[in-house]
Amino acid sequence: MAKHKEKETAGGQGELRPVVERAVAESLQAQLPQLQSQIVEQVLRALPAQGEAAGSGEGSGDLVRAVSNIHAGSTQKEILRALLDAGSGYCARIVLFVVKAGTASGWQSRGMGDDEAVKDFALDLNAGPVAHTYQNRVVTPGNIAEMGKSFVDQFGAPGNEQVLMLPLLLKDKVAALVYADGGDSGKLDSAALELLVMATSAWLEVSSLRKQAAAKEDGGMASRPEPVSPPVQTVSSFSDPFAGHAPKHVVSAPASPEPAAEVVEVTHASGAAAAATAADPLAGLSPEDADTHRKAQRFARLLVDEIKLYNQAKVAEGRRNKDLYDRLKEDIDKSRGTFQKRYGTTVAASGDYFQNELVRSLAEDDISIMGANFRR
């Protein structure tokens, strides 16, 4: 008799389990925004000095409100706009660049005069703090000169020349890059900006998961009104919130839906790319060898950019005194060894890319600046 009752009880629990699980899931989803805000607030309370140390003077309460405003967004565009609005309280100028198919295009900005001023600007992913942030997925300080001449010409330089690059990660990949500087005021709170970008990444992930769950409950993709596009490999699996802000140099898609997706992805550098291909010194190599050479070039550039980034004072002094190699010998030799280990036995070894990059980037194409002890 007792065993029979135990079976009845177990059977009843088995029937109730799905109901209880669904009720708990619905309750958690309803409480998620409040819980996340409470967690952020508790973390900030544990770090009371952060707000006081900020150059902008905002306290932790203001930072909590900034995060809450980001969490109030229900769409990706609202969340990203809230990030820029919130970030502008902790720096003078802030720009979001979307990373897609190996390129970084300006989306929106704050403090640049016109929020849309950056929309058609392509960021160089292979130089300075941009490359370091993109390759290593870490926040990187730098000097405005390292952003490249075209960037400085178009947007000007902050008074103290200091800039900050931050990665916005989704699915552990860089989906966007955030640029910030202090403008004329010098206001640049790197800790607050990093927290805001991290909060944005987390909330975009949560928003995406909630939408996926809602779509699953409604019967899957059949209930969605958006047209289905061919799958395209990008750096992130989240849907594109920048589709309505395509840069001007992207050719509009023709009426046929299948070629359209291809045109949007590959015409980002159409006319100039054709001319560059014609003059490509690697054009006569096999695709595999040419790819190795290009990777070696990029790796050499990244190594030298890192040397410049972390030795800005030594670089300036070495250029003035024409003894750059003596001042940076340890870093240069270490990076040379790293490059040789990766590409010294490949077809790219003949290109001498690391040596050329040292002269081009560090010595500004004047080998005498490297000094008498530099190995020719």
Last residue of a domain, one of 152, 179, 211: 211
Write down the H helix ranges in the chain.
2-45, 49-53, 60-71, 76-87, 128-136, 149-155, 190-217, 257-266, 270-278, 287-310, 312-321, 324-343, 353-357
* Ramachandran assignment for 136, one of left (phi > 0), alpha (psi -120 to 50 degrees), beta (any other): alpha
Q: Is the pLDDT of residue 220 over 70?
A: no
Predicted local confidence at residue 228, as pLDDT: 45
Same domain, yes or no, for 80 and 199? Answer: yes
**Percent of the chain clearing pLDDT 70 (strictly above):** 66
**Percent of the chain clearing pLDDT 90 (strictly above):** 34
Residues 216, 222: Cα–Cα separation, whole Å: 10
| Tally of domains in the chain | 2
Predicted local confidence at residue 89, as pLDDT: 92
Predicted local confidence at residue 124, as pLDDT: 87
Predicted local confidence at residue 55, as pLDDT: 41
Domain that holds residue 344: 280-370
In a domain, 103, yes or no: yes
pLDDT confidence band for 49 (50 / 70 / 90): very low
Mean per-residue pLDDT for 200-227?
Answer: 67
Q: Which residue has the higher pLDDT, 239 or 196?
A: 196
Same domain, yes or no, for 99 and 189? Answer: yes
pTM confidence score: 0.49
* Residue 55 neighbours by CB under 8 Å, 6+ apart: 182, 186, 187, 188, 189
Same domain, yes or no, for 174 and 292? Answer: no
Same domain, yes or no, for 38 and 122? Answer: yes
Lowest mean pLDDT among 41-45, 57-61, 108-112: 41-45
In a domain, 288, yes or no: yes
Task: Please report, for the domain that includes residue 202, its CATH number.
Answer: 3.30.450.40
Same domain, yes or no, for 204 and 332? Answer: no
Q: Residue 151 half-sphere exposure, CB side, CA atoms within 13 Å?
A: 25
- The per-residue pLDDT for range 67-123, each reduced to its tens digit, is 888 888 888 889 999 999 999 999 999 999 999 888 899 999 999 888 888 887 888
Last residue of a domain, one of 158, 184, 211: 211
In a domain, 84, yes or no: yes
In a domain, 287, yes or no: yes
Last residue of a domain, one of 160, 188, 211: 211
Phi/psi for 111 (5° steps) reads 90, 0
Same domain, yes or no, for 206 and 306? Answer: no
Predicted local confidence at residue 42, as pLDDT: 52
- The per-residue pLDDT for range 309-356, each reduced to its tens digit, is 778 889 999 999 999 999 999 999 999 999 999 999 999 999 899 999
In a domain, 243, yes or no: no
Q: How big is the chain, counted in residues?
A: 376
